[in-house]
Amino acid sequence: MPQSADEQHNKRANNGDKQGYQVIPDAQLAERTTFGVPARAHWLARVMDRDAIPELTADTQFQSLPRLILGGGSNVLFTRDFPGLVLAMENRGIEVQTRRGKHDRIRVSAGENWDQFVRWSLDQGYAGLENLILIPGSVGAAPFQNIGAYGTELEEFVDAVHAWDSEAGEFVWLDREACAFAYRDSIFKRHPGRWIITELDLVLPRSGTPRIHYPGVRDMLDKLGVDKPAPADVALAVETLRRRKLPDPAEIGNAGSFFKNPVVNTSKADELKHDHPELPVFALEGDRAKISAAYLIEYCGFRGTRSGNAGVSERHALVLVNYGGAKGSELWRLAEQIRDTVESEFGIRLEPEPVIL
């Protein structure tokens, strides 16, 4: 359960801002999201010091407004302007807190870049996060989505998430169980706006068995000439795969995989596999299986399609792209068309990974 954490945090430097935050009215958000669609916020608050949050949230001009916590903008699609307060955590810091035998407990500020933190962990000799390299976004956004890739999910390494609880009006920490992590889900996602994540505590091993069973990883390691991979080798293999499969948001607007891989019961998976032998199916616990959303979308003919300035990447059927000038509403209409077509063909309703506003 959440526990008070006021005494667990040291004061952070305020980066030259007396209040530790900056409020911008009528703020443009396009450059703060990887889709790059036009959208504005009535107010944008850049928070450089987590201790400034109580003062900011107590301001009467913001209390009655809707609130959105925005990380790196890689998991959100704006279909309209936001009529409230967008709060962006920009605090920085990485600290090794405790050593537990072959594991270290590391506290990372929410405003740190996730990919840069993964690379830092590898440089420091840690294992575990190598499969999560090159995922865009901030550290604070990672537990919100319970990010995962190539057979690894963030929740495996979470010791605690530190946050401001807007309902309780205090800083708290939630242990892994309290975070209620699930596939691309968490308590933070189910209750948006309640918790403002400020830091993340991770327990990372200094050694471990590399995860190379996910399709493509072992083959890429073979191509790289690696027989006994270290974490850095796996990271290179995953990074190479991601760069080949996924378009760079810096070059063309996108949010990576737009739809979750659906989870169905095994009888449904067996039925689909019988009719579609090439369909990738991954067995899960409890008479369930995860199936490839990319296959379903590609089978329905959407890979490489384009509707105005919105489209589906030619490189990966799961990736919706902004070819330049697309509105969020255009991308969402295309996503709805894909979702409805897949449901009609396969009897499965796809769920988007990004938050749709």
CATH number at residue 117: 3.30.465.10
CB 321 within 8 A of CB 305: no
Q: For strand 40-47 and strand 76-77, is the pairing parallel, antiparallel, or unpaired?
A: unpaired
- Which domain, by its residues, includes 10? 3-89
One domain, residues 17 and 110? no
| Average pLDDT of every residue of the chain | 90
Count of domains in the chain?
A: 3
Sign of torsion over alpha carbons 237, 242, 248, 249: negative
Same domain flag for 63 and 142: no
Chain position carrying tokens 């009006």: 169
Position 212 in a domain: no
pLDDT at 153 over 90: yes
CATH assignment of the domain containing 273: 3.90.78.10
Q: What is the pLDDT confidence band of residue 209, given thresholds at 50, 70 and 90?
A: confident
- Single residue among 41, 58, 89 that ends a domain in this structure: 89
Based on the fold, state whether residues 199 and 125 are members of the same structural domain: yes
Per-residue model confidence (pLDDT) at position 6: 38
More confident residue, 75 or 112: 112
Task: Render pLDDT for 21-59 as a digit per residue (tens, 0 to 9).
Answer: 999 999 999 999 999 999 999 999 999 999 999 999 999
Which of 175-179, 200-204, 214-218 is least confident? 214-218
Q: Which of 257, 292, 313, 330 is catalytic?
A: 257
pLDDT value, residue 5 = 41
Q: Is 211 in the active site?
A: no
In a domain, 228, yes or no: no
**Per-residue model confidence (pLDDT) at position 1:** 47
- DSSP, res 200: E
Is 353 in the active site?
yes
Considering 183, 205, 227, which residue would you say is the last residue of a domain?
A: 205
Confidence at residue 295, expressed as pLDDT on a 0 to 100 scale: 95
Q: Which residues contact 152 (CB under 8 A, 6 or more apart)?
A: 128, 129, 131, 132, 211
Residue 79: predicted pLDDT: 96
3-state secondary structure of 173: strand
Is residue 257 annotated as a catalytic residue, yes or no? Answer: yes
Q: Quick: pLDDT tens for 234-260.
A: 999 999 998 988 888 888 999 988 999
Considering only residues 8 and 128, tell me which one the structure prediction assigns the higher pLDDT: 128
Domain membership of residue 221 (yes or no) is: no
User: Of 32, 59, 89, which closes a domain?
Assistant: 89
- CB of 154 closer than 8 Å to CB of 234: no
Annotated catalytic residue within 50, 119, 184, 303: 184
Q: What is the pTM of this model?
A: 0.82
Residue 210 lies in a domain: no
pLDDT mean over 90-109: 91
Torsion of CA 280, 285, 287, 288, to 10 degrees: -40
Grouping H, G, I as helix, E, B as strand and the rest as coil, residue 199 is strand
Residues 6+ apart with CB under 8 A from 185: 145, 146
Assign residue 75 the CATH number of its domain. 3.30.43.10
